């Protein structure tokens, strides 16, 4: 459950943002969770719900999660395949098994709406 | 600048908690008096585009750790595996084989107890036990704190090779850089050859894959070739080694790999 500690870090950042902008409540948070970033979306949501219930600033805060795609590139012929995250068994062009990945490995705080 | 050691901090303009209790989050210094202004705000909403990574703070601290290790010419290795795959046993044997050639230090991470540190201390090298209080991984701030504690250990006289034994867990540690130069993932023969396919993030971010307890191969269904090819699918550039701490099989290659890392680091520092 490292998601919980990531949500704690997020809340510290949101509190700073609120203070900078003279806001007292976070209305909506948009996150981008890469399918390869090692964070389980359900666990992140669960951690967000548990921790947000404990602070007035996060009362009824809406959490929006976007999941970016991942590009797999063949190490032999450089053919690219874009998926929702799952690794293709092999290159669709030449059948090579070894593929490198690009994207989908970060956890981003994209946008915050506050009042 | 880090107050306790003078080593570079990732940022000088916000508060760090690394001197306190090893938590990774930084405390925003300006939120606690927010209630002073409650009367003046209106209800207009404001939208701010942020686009910052939640890993950014940890990654910056990890880079500061790595810079510090580079500065002192030390190789730092992050050992990741399930509980019971043989990390501590591997370290015990490795220390006995190498401690006369190089200065070794160990940072041990566990949810509770200092049993691993006691085992390492018995081999005669400086060691620090970090207990995470139940947390499932080490992070860069804990590592920073751990290294400073290591420097204060009796018998510490610098370090050429620093082992950071992560909390036994094949999932969560993969997300947190510590400042290591290489990340080593271990799978023991009884765990089965399907681990690389099941834990692609861990294998994808590692440089080296170590298959341990190979003396048990006759008793378990563990096709080495399958484990190797699954691991390469998760990470085409992975180095793969097999060994048994019990029989010593494969140990020479492992020790040579460590010697090479240390030699290369010393060369970089001299250059």
Tell me: pLDDT of A19 over 50. yes
**Over residues B81-106, mean pLDDT:** 97
Give the span between the Cα atoms of A115 and B124, in whole angstroms. Answer: 58
Reported as a pLDDT band with limits 50, 70 and 90, residue B23 is very low
Give the span between the Cα atoms of B197 and A109, in whole angstroms. Answer: 29
Pull the structure tokens for residue A68: 């970016």
Residue A93 falls inside a structural domain: no
Distance of CA B231 to the CA centre of its chain: 20
Q: What percent of chain B has pLDDT over 70?
A: 84
Hey, is the C-beta of B18 within 8 angstroms of any chain A C-beta? no
Reported as a pLDDT band with limits 50, 70 and 90, residue B14 is very low
At B207, phi and psi to the nearest 5? Answer: -100, -25
Hey, is the C-beta of B26 within 8 angstroms of any chain A C-beta? yes
What's the number of domains chain A is made of?
A: 1
Q: Which domain holds residue A36?
A: 2-68+104-114
Q: Which of B223, B224, B244, B241 is closest to B93 using CA atoms?
A: B244
Say if the Cβ atoms of A109 and B49 lie within 8 Å. no
Q: DSSP character for B131?
A: E
Strands A80-83 and A70-74: antiparallel
Reported as a pLDDT band with limits 50, 70 and 90, residue B6 is low
For chain A, the residue count is 115
**Contacts B26 to A, Cβ<8 Å:** 12
**Contacts B137 to A, Cβ<8 Å:** 2
Min Cα separation B137/chain A (Å): 7
Provide the pLDDT for residue B34.
Answer: 44
**Contacts B53 to A, Cβ<8 Å:** 106-109
When CB atoms are compared, the residue of B38, B46, B49 closest to A21 is: B46
Give the span between the Cα atoms of B226 and B240, in whole angstroms. Answer: 12
- A29-55 pLDDT, tens per residue? 999 999 999 899 999 999 999 999 999
Provide the pLDDT for residue B134.
Answer: 78
Give the span between the Cα atoms of B89 and B168, in whole angstroms. Answer: 13
Tell me: pLDDT of B15 over 80. no
User: What ipTM describes this predicted complex?
Assistant: 0.87
Q: Looking at A38-47, B15-24, B54-63, B65-74, which range is the least confident one? A: B15-24
**Contacts A15 to B, Cβ<8 Å:** 28, 31
Interface test with A, best of B16, B44, B54 (most A CBs within 10 A): B54
CATH of the domain at A41: 3.30.2320.50
Give the span between the Cα atoms of B127 and A95, in whole angstroms. Answer: 48
For chain B, the straight-line distance linking the first and the last C-alpha, in angstroms and rounded, comes to: 26
**Over residues B81-85, mean pLDDT:** 95
- Rounded to 10 degrees, the C-alpha dihedral A102/A107/A108/A112 comes to 150
**Cβ-based burial of B209 (10 A; exposed 0-12, middle 13-18, buried ≥19):** buried
Hey, is the C-beta of B159 within 8 angstroms of any chain A C-beta? no
Residue A46 falls inside a structural domain: yes
Question: For chain B, which domains are there?
Answer: 58-266 (3.40.50.300)
Strand spans (E) along chain B? 46-53, 75-81, 104-110, 127-131, 161-165, 182-188, 208-212, 239-242
Residue A84 falls inside a structural domain: no
Hey, is the C-beta of A54 within 8 angstroms of any chain B C-beta? no
Tell me: pLDDT of B28 over 90. no
Hey, is the C-beta of B13 within 8 angstroms of any chain A C-beta? no
**Contacts A38 to B, Cβ<8 Å:** 171-172, 174-175, 201
Tell me: pLDDT of B16 over 60. no
Say if the Cβ atoms of B172 and A1 lie within 8 Å. yes
User: Quick check: A27 and B42 in contact, CB under 8 A?
Assistant: no
- A65-106 pLDDT, tens per residue? 999 999 999 999 999 999 999 999 999 999 999 999 999 999
Q: Which of B18, B232, B22 is closest to B109 using CA atoms?
A: B22
Hey, is the C-beta of B240 within 8 angstroms of any chain A C-beta? no
User: Quick check: A72 and A97 in contact, CB under 8 A?
Assistant: no
Provide the pLDDT for residue B9.
Answer: 53
Residue A74 falls inside a structural domain: no
Residue A49 falls inside a structural domain: yes
């Amino acid at each position: 459950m490292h998601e919980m500690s990531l949500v704690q870090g997020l809340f510290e950042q949101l509190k700073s943002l609120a203070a900078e902008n003279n806001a007292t409540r976070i209305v909506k948070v948009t996150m981008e969770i890469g399918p390869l970033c090692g964070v389980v979306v359900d666990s992140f949501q669960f951690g967000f719900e548990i921790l947000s219930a404990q602070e007035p600033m996060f009362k009824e805060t809406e959490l929006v999660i976007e999941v970016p795609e991942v590009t797999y590139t063949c190490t032999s012929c450089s053919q690219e395949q874009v998926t929702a995250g799952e690794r293709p068994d092999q290159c669709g062009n030449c059948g090579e098994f070894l593929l490198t990945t690009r994207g989908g490995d970060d956890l981003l705080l994209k946008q915050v709406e506050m009042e | 600048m880090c107050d306790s050691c003078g080593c570079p901090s990732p940022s000088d303009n916000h508060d760090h908690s690394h001197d306190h209790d090893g938590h990774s989050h930084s405390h925003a210094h300006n939120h606690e008096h927010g209630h002073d202004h409650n009367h003046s705000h209106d209800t207009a909403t404001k939208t701010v585009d942020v686009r910052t990574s939640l890993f950014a703070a940890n990654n910056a601290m990890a880079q500061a750790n790595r810079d510090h290790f580079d500065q002192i010419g030390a190789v730092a290795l992050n050992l990741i595996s399930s509980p019971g795959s043989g990390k501590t046993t591997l370290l015990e044997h490795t220390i006995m084989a190498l401690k006369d050639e190089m200065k070794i230090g160990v940072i041990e991470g566990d949810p509770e107890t200092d049993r691993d540190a006691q085992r390492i201390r018995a081999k005669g090298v400086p060691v620090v036990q970090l207990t995470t209080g139940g947390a499932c991984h080490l992070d860069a701030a804990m590592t920073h704190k751990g290294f400073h504690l290591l420097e204060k250990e009796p018998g510490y006289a610098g370090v050429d090779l620093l082992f950071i034994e992560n909390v036994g867990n094949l999932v969560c540690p993969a997300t947190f850089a510590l400042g290591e130069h290489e990340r080593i993932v271990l799978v023991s023969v009884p765990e089965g050859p399907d681990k690389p396919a099941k834990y692609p993030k861990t294998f994808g971010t590692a440089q080296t894959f170590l298959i341990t307890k190979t003396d048990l191969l006759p008793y378990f269904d563990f096709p080495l070739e399958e484990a190797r090819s699954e691991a390469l699918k998760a990470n085409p550039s992975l180095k793969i080694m097999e060994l048994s701490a019990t029989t010593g099989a494969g140990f020479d290659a492992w020790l040579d790999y460590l010697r090479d890392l240390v030699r290369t680091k010393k060369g970089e520092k001299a250059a």
